Amino acid sequence: MNLGLMSLFALPAIFVSITICEFTKAFVSTKLGDNIPRQEGRLTLNPFKHFEAIGFILFLLCGFGWGKPVRTSALFYKDRKKGTLMTYGAPIIVNILAGFIFMLIYSLVIRKMQIDNYYIKYILNYLVIYNISIAVFNLVPVYPMCASKILIVFLPPNAAIKMSQNEKIFQMILMLLIFFGLLGSFLNPITNFIINIFEMLLF
């Protein structure tokens, strides 16, 4: 299969993975009393509402990227620390769960239904890989990744302010690490480890 055709399978998988991540964030924050995601139209499964060009291109070219970050406010939470941890921890868990579900479907298609259709196999394979990779990538404590918000909860106020002030610099470093494959050399083994565990459980 040529690279162009493979990219066609990658595109919907990227959209699905990003949408799952950002919708989960919006849903949890809304359930905790935050009305900003709903007001800004982010409480939706419409993938185009969660599209962010730079993150999408990096995802397509390098295997790691992001969607348009959902804006939330901890001011609406009864417990700001707990609410922030739930809002930004949930997408990581849900993307991993989604990766497992898509691999389960993949195993059923191959083993139970015995469907030998490489189009279905490729798109399911990408759905597994991209859901796991975005979950792993969200563990990097640099905005707009979820771990950046989680880390701030545990930092002293002065350190949290400094981190926010240097946000753009961290982002530039992150994009360079992604583009030159340096971050992938660290994160890909983690992604592959999770996928291998799922394969052992399902195959």
pLDDT of 5 reads 54
Radius of gyration of the chain from Cα atoms?
Answer: 18
Task: Give the residue numbers spanning the domain of 43.
Answer: 3-202
Is-contact 142 148, C-beta < 8 A?
yes
Give the residue-averaged pLDDT of 73-89.
96
pLDDT of 90 reads 98
Residue partners of 93: CB distance under 8 A and separation at least 6:
135
- Tokens 């009393």, located at residue: 33
Least confident of 5-14, 27-36, 126-135, 163-172: 5-14
pLDDT of 120 reads 82
Is-contact 23 16, C-beta < 8 A?
no
pLDDT of 32 reads 97
Kindly tell me if the per-residue pLDDT of 3 is higher than 50: no
- Tokens 């404590």, located at residue: 141
Is-contact 9 126, C-beta < 8 A?
yes
The share of the chain scoring above pLDDT 70, in percent, equals 95
Both tokens assigned to 125: 């394979």
Both tokens assigned to 43: 């409480």
**Exposed / middle / buried, residue 165 (Cβ in 10 Å: 0-12, 13-18, 19+):** exposed
Residue partners of 103: CB distance under 8 A and separation at least 6:
124, 128, 195, 198, 199, 202
The Cα diameter of the chain in Å comes to 58
The contacts found for 1-8 with CB under 8 angstroms, 24 or more apart, are: 1/118, 1/122, 6/122, 7/60
pLDDT in tens, 101-142: 999 999 888 777 776 777 888 899 999 999 999 999 999 999
Is-contact 57 50, C-beta < 8 A?
no
Give the model's confidence band at 6: pLDDT under 50 very low, under 70 low, under 90 confident, else very high: low
Residue type present at position 141: P
CA distance to 15, 74, 120, per residue, from 67 (Å): 9, 21, 25
Count how many domains the chain has.
1
The share of the chain scoring above pLDDT 90, in percent, equals 73
